[in-house]
Structure 1
Amino acid sequence: MAETTADRVTRLLALVTYLHDHPGAPVPDVAAHFGTTEAQVLADVNLLWVAGTPGYFPDDLIDFSAEAMDHGELTLTDARGMDRPLRLSPAEALSLLVALRSLRELVASGVAASPDALESAIAKLAGATGDAASQAAAVQVRVSAEVPVGTLTAVRRSLAERRRLRLRYVSAADVVTDREVDPVELRSDGASWSLRAWCHRAQGPRTFRLDRILDVDVLTTPAADHPDLIEPQPWEEGRELTLELTSQARWVAEHTPVEEVEDLPDGALRVRLLVGDAAWLSNLVLSLGPAVRSVQPPEAAHDAAVRARAALAAYEHLS
């Protein structure tokens, strides 16, 4: 699988620090350390060699020993400040600490996982930021999932083990009913959790808000599969999508920030990117026209399709 831009940038930054601490490191050792090939390490060094600080004259660029490189070793001679550790401003450190403490509250509620990693990150950041840590401690963080831990745990268990649930549920009309359901899908819209399920009492699909479940039991009865009840998620801005393009549209990969590029046998390419503006995506797809072979997920191209049909209808009306 092709490497993402984010992965390579992370390795490039780490490579400068590693070579600063390990002058004369053999290329095979560096490749083994970063889990990549020797050819990729040399390509990374050649890229860093032409990177640096504004001005971009020879003295502004990151530099390596060419002689050491000829002998299969890597020696960093000028890091241009890239070897210095990242320094957060007090405001940045405070924001990160408060955000991490919010996640810790979600861990306590059973909504999120990995408490050890969170505690470690909080401790390291607090120890390195001084005043920001004391300011963050003064901020009260209360995050409520509004769902009892036992309810969420039972629903997740039933989905994982494919077992039926018995619910005591109170509806929006304040009517309490007992139901047996086959769980299908657990969802959150950021404000509440809901369970999509096949209800045996109603003999049909139903959606149950978890904060309205009064009691829940995981039964030994296997849950039947209902794949047709899984609702497709609407495409939203800020989501990842994949474009399959003909060779004529290769410029997209060269001039647009992309996560991954995969060359296809017939000269076409598959591009994976993050889109933060649906209108931008619509304009891109329309401008590429027949150079676009496919868009995944398909709903991401909905706006472009609507605009294209409207344009065709207007053209036919004029003719």
Structure 2
Amino acid sequence: MANAIDQTRRMLSLVTYLRERPGARVSDVARAFGVTEAELIGDLNVLPLCGTSFRGGDLLDIDTDGERIWWHNVDDVAQPLRLAADEAAALLVAARAVANLPGLRESDRQALLRATAKVEAAAGEVAGASAGLSVTFEAEGSVFADVDRAITEGRRLWMRYYSPSRDALTEREVDPIRLFTVGHTYVEGWCYLSEDRRTFRLDRVAEIRILDQASDPPRVEPRDLSQGLVQPAGDDPEVVVEVGPGGRWVAEYYPHDLAEELPDGGLRITLRTPDPGSLRRLALRLGRDGRIVSPQDLADSAQRAAAQALAAYGE
């Protein structure tokens, strides 16, 4: 089962592997690393954002035609790494913060501390200046560590999870499958409350515990998340929703094309969905904090549903 640290290890190894095998086949590389081709393509989409400078410029020029992988600037990035003072300071602060992350495997911690010591020795005075800076991980960092540990040890999780669409906390037992980041950090796993695969945002986990029970999620094919967590099609119907200040969470919870500020502190949100009717529940959930603007038939349908609900309360 993949996790964030395993992915980082794999990507570091992938750089060395590809440097020695120009034009390597996607299928061969995926097989060598024990991942699906979709997971490998996901790694390849991240590698061009990495390089020898925090400012960019010396980024890895790696691409693929879907069959073979090409690295075009191997010689350029093979030069010795030279960090500016601010880059060295940022790297040292980040490394010290990660080394103190709860749940980090001891072998990983020791490797990180050894690498940090080498950077400190090379950085000289900058290392001393950076020692006055620190980063503290809040709740999400602790949740990340527990989830990563549960995945590594093959154990089940218990969590209290907040769902903004229902404004409710639920208690769940989850067999975690993988951690990933798409804007926010998520854990994907098998949820016994829903009896289905579910995705949970780490910053919405109110409480978490690692259980003694072994994790045994059903075998599921990893989804391709390279284009985002939710991927509406371009020809899906367009829906416009206006929300007040109390409904701004909708823009965070629903993928959207546009979110425009309104004078009252609310938002006008344009989104696409293959099933516009499903947004009637959103309109009922929002109440006074929002309304569907278009399409008109959906807005009318939501108003009728609200009227029927009010009438039922009256009865």
Which bin holds the TM-score, normalised by the shorter protein? 0.3 to 0.5
- TM-score, with normalisation over the residues of structure 1? 0.38
- TM-score, with normalisation over the residues of structure 2? 0.39
Task: Flag the structure with larger Rg.
Answer: 1
